[in-house]
């Protein structure tokens, strides 16, 4: 599928942000658990283990408090990928709907969205529940995003006005959207997942998100951005 696209949707961890939230939560875990949990995360991201097989066990072992989740949200914002702000601003200038579909926890992902100017209604992630004292209680198992195929379900539920859809992400669950999204773009600027690199319809692996524009804009849309002084440098950086 070639542009124009009505909407562009992003994964969060290792796509919009240069960290994996679960990995960052390991700093709060007992040392004896850290490597075991990190291995589970890598296996799920590479597609060697079903996401649901590791999601619940990781959170149960980590049992993150509300305070810790808030701290991860702030770290997400500090580690937003190069040119993400400008890319999203440019796409919004062109009238495209921008959203996030993530298997991460909802509060930190919402914090990223707020920092990037993405509407809260366009943020899909896994809600988390806390006890009255802020300790971890559970996550919302009714969300499809804690298991494989969840991102496909969310995309399928979007209204027709959101199509054609472009989706960008780094991991195996992002690659699953290929065929449901009208274009899937793999991103390896933070972490290279070999299965994504080998199978994505389009792929780039630069520290900057700017080259995304190469895949999602028409010549007319690029011309419109070129005529906006604030986006001229961004277009220069978008060239692969």
CATH number at residue 44: 3.40.50.1000
- Residue 1, in any domain of the structure: no
CA dist., res. 3 & res. 79, Å (int): 29
Strand partners, 184: 167
| Residue 36 known to be catalytic | no
pTM: 0.93
Residue 45 clears pLDDT 80, i.e. is over it: no
The percentage of the chain sitting over the pLDDT mark of 70, rounded to a whole number, equals: 99
CA dist., res. 136 & res. 163, Å (int): 37
- pLDDT at residue number 81: 98
Coil, helix or strand at residue 56: helix
- Residue 36, in any domain of the structure: yes
Residue 53 clears pLDDT 90, i.e. is over it: no
| Residue 11 known to be catalytic | yes
Q: Choose, from 11, 83, 170, 182, the residue flagged as catalytic.
A: 11
Cβ-Cβ contacts under 8 Å for 151 (sequence gap 6 or more) = 101, 103, 145, 167, 169, 173, 174, 176, 177
| Whole-number average pLDDT of the chain | 93
- Residue 2, in any domain of the structure: no
Q: Choose, from 13, 170, 174, 182, the residue flagged as catalytic.
A: 13
Q: Is 78 exposed, middle or buried (0-12, 13-18, 19+ CB in 10 A)?
A: exposed
Domain that holds residue 57: 7-237
As given in the structure block, the two tokens for residue 181 are 């999204």
- Residue 34, in any domain of the structure: yes
60 — pLDDT class (breaks 50, 70, 90): confident
Could you report the per-residue pLDDT of 15-39, keeping only the tens digit for each? Answer: 999 998 888 888 887 777 777 777 7
CA dist., res. 175 & res. 149, Å (int): 10
Q: How many domains does the chain have?
A: 1
């Amino acid at each position: 599928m070639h542009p124009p696209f009505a909407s562009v949707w992003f994964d969060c961890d290792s796509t919009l942000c240069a960290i994996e939230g679960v990995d960052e939560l390991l700093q709060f875990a007992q040392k004896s658990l850290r490597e075991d949990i990190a291995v589970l995360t890598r296996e799920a991201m590479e597609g060697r283990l079903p996401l649901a097989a590791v999601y619940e066990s990781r959170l149960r072992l980590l049992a993150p408090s509300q305070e810790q989740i808030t701290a991860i949200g702030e770290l997400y914002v500090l580690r937003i990928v190069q040119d993400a702000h400008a890319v999203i601003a440019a796409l919004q200038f062109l009238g495209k709907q921008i959203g996030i579909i993530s298997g991460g926890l909802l509060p930190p992902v919402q914090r990223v969205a707020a920092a990037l100017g993405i509407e809260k209604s366009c943020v899909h992630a896994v809600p988390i529940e806390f006890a009255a004292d802020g300790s971890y209680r559970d996550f919302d198992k009714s969300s499809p995003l804690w298991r494989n195929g969840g991102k496909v379900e969310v995309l399928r539920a979007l209204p027709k006005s959101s199509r054609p859809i472009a989706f960008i992400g780094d991991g195996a669950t992002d690659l699953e959207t290929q065929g449901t999204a009208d274009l899937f773009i793999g991103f390896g600027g933070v972490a290279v997942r070999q299965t994504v690199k080998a199978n994505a319809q389009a792929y780039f692996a630069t520290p900057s998100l700017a080259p995304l524009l190469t895949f999602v804009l028409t010549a007319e849309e690029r011309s419109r951005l070129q005529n906006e002084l604030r986006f001229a440098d961004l277009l220069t950086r978008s060239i692969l």
